[in-house]
Chain A
Amino acid sequence: MAEAHPVGFQWVMEAKRRGATIIHVDPRFTRTSAVSDVHVPIRAGSDIAWLGALVNYVLSNDLDFREYVVAYTNAANIIEGRFQDTEDLDGLFSGFDPETGHYDPTSWAYQPDSAQQVEDDAERDRAYGDTPGSQESHQSARSESHGSGGAPVRWKGRRDETLQDPSCVFQILKRHFARYTPEMVQEVCGIGPEQFQRVAEALTRNSGRDRTTAFCYAVGWTHHSTGAQMIRTASILQLLLGNIGRPGGGIMALRGHASIQGSTDIPTLFNILPGYLPMPTASQHQSLDEWVRDDEGKAGFWGNVRSYAVSLLKSYWGDAATPENDFCFDYLPRITGDHSTYTTVKSMIEGSCKGYFVVGENPTVGSSNGKMQRLGLANLDWLVVRDLQMIETATFWKDSPEIETGELVTEEIGTEVFFLPAATHVEKSGSFTQTQRMLQWRDKAVDPPGDARSELQFYYDLGQRIRRKLAGSTDEMDRPLLDLAWDYPTDDEGDPEGEAVLKEINGTGPDGAALASYTELKDDGSTACGCWIYCGVYADEVNLARRRKPHWDQDWVASEWGWVWPANRRQLYNRASAAPDGSPWSERKAYIQWDADADDGKGKWVGPDVPDFIADRAPDYVPPEGAKGPDAIGGQDPFIMQTDGKGWLFAPLGVADGPMPAHYEPPESPVRNPLYGQQNNPSRRKVDHPANPINPSFSEIFPYVFTTYRLTEHHTAGGMSRTLPYLTELQPEPFCEVSPRLAAERGLTHGDWVTIVTARAAIEAKVLVTDRMRSLRLGDRFVEQVGLPYHWGGNGLTTGDSPNDLVNLTLDPNVYIQDKVGTCDIRPGRRPRGPELTAYVEAYRRRAGVDMAHPEDGGADG
């Protein structure tokens, strides 16, 4: 965190000054480790084993925060009798289809509380022409299509609040994690029992009414074929310790780009629409009703999904969207599975996707398997790159590594390339959403130089031109473009006004005035809203993201700096900061609490933050039978976006690779999975392409683990840092880090060139031989790791080979993110040049026995 989010790290140091224990878990020793109380070196990719053992420690020693767990989580829920665990099936859960790699999650479901519920639900399915229960069995294959709040459960379900029923979540969890012992941690992660004990004690001592622990993570958890489950494991641990929704608690995703949170909320992503509305799926959503049916009416605010959906359609198609035409629902394109970036790159190589916009991103350096990226670019009809500097993605046709090896020839690449200069952050006004969901507005300081323009201007202009060119078309396919609400006020230079767009995002009522809250949204077409969770940022026609009240003029929550979605709530699920009866868990940890005397004795939730709950819902409120939406949230259901109001220790639905996390080895590993017979995540998504061969696991040819990471002085793919003299001077060349033991084993000399090779590529870098990389003892053997800062490419002031060329494409089945851990060899000296390089890598593949008929398998297991 000190390396990649340095200024955020000041708060960790503040906490330390006040007595917090700082624990840093990372394969390498960094600036963070240097100031932490404990540094735990871990084998990259083994986090579920480590966190799972902590869960086991809590459960087997009865150290959970029982009152919190019983009231606020699904620990008491009874699971279907048909459910089978990895304990029963040697690493698989019930419902697995080995043909497709998908799970059918129907056996993971909550038991209903009454037979009536089952009947009502079946009735609903039949009304849609479905076989009862068939909806869930689709779920596995469409993890990409869940909106906000995850998958909707059918009922709150039967509970045993004594937690004794052998089929309740708590007992299932206990059995599931029993094999995650400290000995196993040594064997899998290379972390000794003493260190495990120290961390386990620190964590559990720091739990309860008066104490909380926070977890911070970044791509060290997301970049794995089991990434979503790593974060799930941390969630389980935090829920058991009562650390969610309370001050000083939480699981903080430290995100790496100025508005990567914003571009997820208002997504430029294939599977969602603004506010986490799912993109419609062709096989299930052919009308507005079908699109919202899974979520509509379910407990919580997500139950009002129809209002959000209709308001979005109104903001897209304005007057053209009417109740008679389903508010133009049919104008939305439908997805049919995974259309994520890596799958799209494969389509490019295969010739079925021909036009590509790359906007402020540099995939030939920043995405995994650089070769596949470049092969894709070389097979396009046209490519538009918008950036500040001449990045590698724009120049692939003349200087990519494949040109050097002769695999690509400039004169044979038919891609037409447009490079359009972009405006910097000070040359346009607009908002970023940072990692705490906070929108902060930037004012424009200067005009962009030359041809440089903002993306706002470019896309507005492009839309105008396309619409002009298609004007008069009677082709049905052009209607969504022609009917699009695309009029924005412009300034003197013809640039659209950012605040007008922000107001559209915020939403407007029938009179055109900005709305103040998403609770005002209607499903009858009388309101429009571009992103329901952002509703309120422009309340009373005031741009609240622009607020800059100094922190010394407000309380510690600082609610008047910027604006945080939803509803300016600084901490999500903060109802959990109070005990079930509404009083603070302790004086020290008081945050939001129930004031029974407020509002003339009607009572309301009060505190320094906006309550993330219905303001006047009493803690003892029990929803009446048949209640829907927000009315169905009980007074002790803090997780108001979940359809049952509870924190999920066990996911009865919605997670593609199992209801609970299980440790599987990365697709390439020198280690046999000691926990189960199942070596790799059985649901991992493989990218089957000759340019993506997987190293066989346990290979003597590729004996070392490698992983990639950031440096403080550079930024992702380097377009914004390798081009700046200041930053280049601070971090002037690429390097890799290895332990002294590995250096001795391979004859590597500190400061000399080395070559790192996988079945995909070989790259060179200078080697830093350092104790910061630890040789890890796993059982009776050592595992060595090679650390690679990944920022480099061929352009800019500091250049070098791209570590991402080494990384394979094997994706997490929930989110389609790649696994950045792989195996490699490392040798002294520079890599071969030209065609010899291809031959060199080919020879490695041959020696390692890479099966080029099934390159995606690595020959390890299915």
Chain B
Amino acid sequence: MAEADRNRTCLTRMPGHNGFEDRARHQTRYASATHLRRLIGSLCFRRPCRGYIAEVNAFLGWPAIRQATGRDRLGRGAAAMSKRSETLEPRTVKADKVVDSVCPYCAVGCAQKVFVKDGKVAQIEGNPASPISRGRLCPKGSASKQLVTSPSRVTKVRYRRPYATEWEDLDLDTAVDMIADRVIKTRKQFWEWEADGNRTRRTMGIASLGGATLDNEENYLMKKLYTAMGAIQIENQARI
């Protein structure tokens, strides 16, 4: 919770950040609506009854009127809010913890804040403290919560037997063990000590593609293990 608080503080503290600007706009709206109400009241309704006041208030509360009379001329901020939406809180407020992260899409490297509630990702937002992104995320970075929570995410191992027409279930432990067996077999089957009279000490049977979406530490272990296997056809998106 402490970290969530700190994060909120930094969100609102940042000049230019929406939270900051929205509050300023908010205050302007109240000022001008009250002003208008007084003005109308004094000019037109010398002896207003209660009903009138209520109606006028309701009328003045219409988003279109607030948009026309307030500062939010585009109707994208305060004018679009209702009583109900004013009481709503962002999902981020109730987070149990906030974790520093980085957008997993392109290489700009926008900083993210991951809001966690009950062991689940509740929201992912831009981190304004970043000198690279200053809190912004593009559509992909903004959608990255769905990357984690997507209902179509596959969370169980799938296995397709040779010549089969359907997937089967397979236990993770068994799957990794089967893969280890296949690596050992194929490595040996395509082992090559020499090519054109020069020592090569390698296997041409095993290839790998991928790494650009992974962590440095993962790439490191991959290349280290493959090299020890003697596998050389190791590639990633940087080639493509």
Contacts and interface: CB of A to CB of B under 8 A. Distances in A.
B163 A411 contact: yes
Contacts of B212: 256-260, 263, 360-361
A283 B195 CA distance: 9
Query: Which of the listed residues A258, A410, A431 has the most CB atoms from chain B within 10 Å of its own CB?
Result: A258
A421 B204 contact: no
B141 interface: yes
Given A355-B186, A361-B212, A411-B163, A715 B220 contact: no
Nearest to A817: B239
Given A259-B211, A332-B201, A446-B121, 15 more contacts: A6-B108, A259-B213, A263-B214, A316-B224, A316-B228, A336-B200, A353-B190, A357-B210, A361-B211, A411-B163, A413-B162, A421-B157, A431-B216, A445-B121, A451-B172
Contacts of A723: 150, 152-153
Interface in B92-111: 97, 99-111
A418 B156 CA distance: 11
A498 B232 contact: no
B216 A433 contact: yes
A439 B176 contact: no
Contacts of B188: 477
Given A7-B108, A432-B216, A445 B227 contact: no
Contact of B107 (A256, A336, A442, A484): A256
B176 A268 contact: no
Contacts of B180: 462, 465-466, 469
Contacts of A502: 216-217
B153 A418 contact: no
Contact of A264 (B172, B193, B238): B238
B228 A481 contact: yes
B230 A333 contact: yes
Interface string A60-84: 0000000000000000000000000
A584 B99 CA distance: 42
B104 A424 contact: yes
Contacts of B206: 353-357
Given A361-B210, A452-B155, A426 B191 contact: no
Contacts of B106: 4-5, 255-258, 715
Nearest to B166: A398
Interface string A383-419: 0101111100010011000000000001111111111
B132 A434 contact: yes
Given A274-B220, A356-B207, A723-B150, A419 B159 contact: yes
A420 B175 contact: yes
Contact of A451 (B109, B157, B238): B157
Contacts of B240: 341, 363, 366-368, 817-818
A513 to B, nearest CB: 19
A382 B154 contact: no
Interface stretch (B42-50, B83-91, B112-120): B112-120
Nearest to A473: B184
Contact of A257 (B121, B153, B213): B213
Interface string B137-159: 11111111011101011111111
Contact of A455 (B127, B142, B155, B222): B222
A143 to B, nearest CB: 14
Contacts of A451: 155-157, 172
Contact of A353 (B210, B233, B238): B233
Interface stretch (A191-199, A680-688, A725-733, A848-856): A725-733
Q: Which applies to chain B's interface (DSSP): helix, strand, loop or mixed? A: mixed
Given A438-B109, A445-B114, A260 B159 contact: no
B236 A469 contact: no
Given A388-B153, A458-B176, A443 B101 contact: yes
6 contacts: A259-B215, A268-B235, A331-B201, A353-B190, A354-B186, A431-B217
Interface stretch (A206-214, A544-552, A757-765): A544-552
Nearest to A384: B179
A434 B190 CA distance: 36
**Which residue, of B10, B102, B120, B163, has the highest number of chain A Cβ atoms within 10 A?**
B102
Contact of A334 (B179, B198, B226): B198
A501 interface: yes
Contacts of B4: none
A501 B154 contact: no
Contact of A465 (B176, B208, B223): B176
B99 A426 contact: yes
Nearest to A1: B108
Contacts of A389: 150, 152-154
Given A388-B154, A434-B107, A444-B99, A357 B139 contact: no
Nearest to A398: B165
Contact of B147 (A10, A339, A388, A445): A388
Contact of A462 (B198, B207, B225): B225
Task: From B10, B105, B150, B216, name the one whose CB has the most chain A CB atoms within 10 angstroms.
Answer: B216
A254 B167 CA distance: 39
A259 B214 contact: yes
A459 B156 contact: no
B162 A415 contact: yes
B214 A360 contact: yes
Interface string B56-77: 0000000000000000000000
Contacts of A361: 209-213, 236-237
B10 to A, nearest CB: 7
Contacts of B199: 282, 286, 330, 334
Nearest to B188: A477
A358 interface: yes
Given A258-B109, A354-B205, A417-B159, A816 B239 contact: yes
A254 to B, nearest CB: 7
Contacts of B223: 266-268, 273-274
Interface stretch (A169-177, A344-352, A643-651, A667-675): A344-352
A504 B221 CA distance: 10
Nearest to A360: B213
B114 to A, nearest CB: 4
B217 A333 contact: no
A188 B190 CA distance: 48
Contacts of B175: 418, 420
A460 interface: yes
B205 A445 contact: no
A410 B160 CA distance: 11
A800 interface: no
Contacts of A470: 184
A783 interface: no
Nearest to A710: B106
A678 interface: no
A579 B183 CA distance: 56
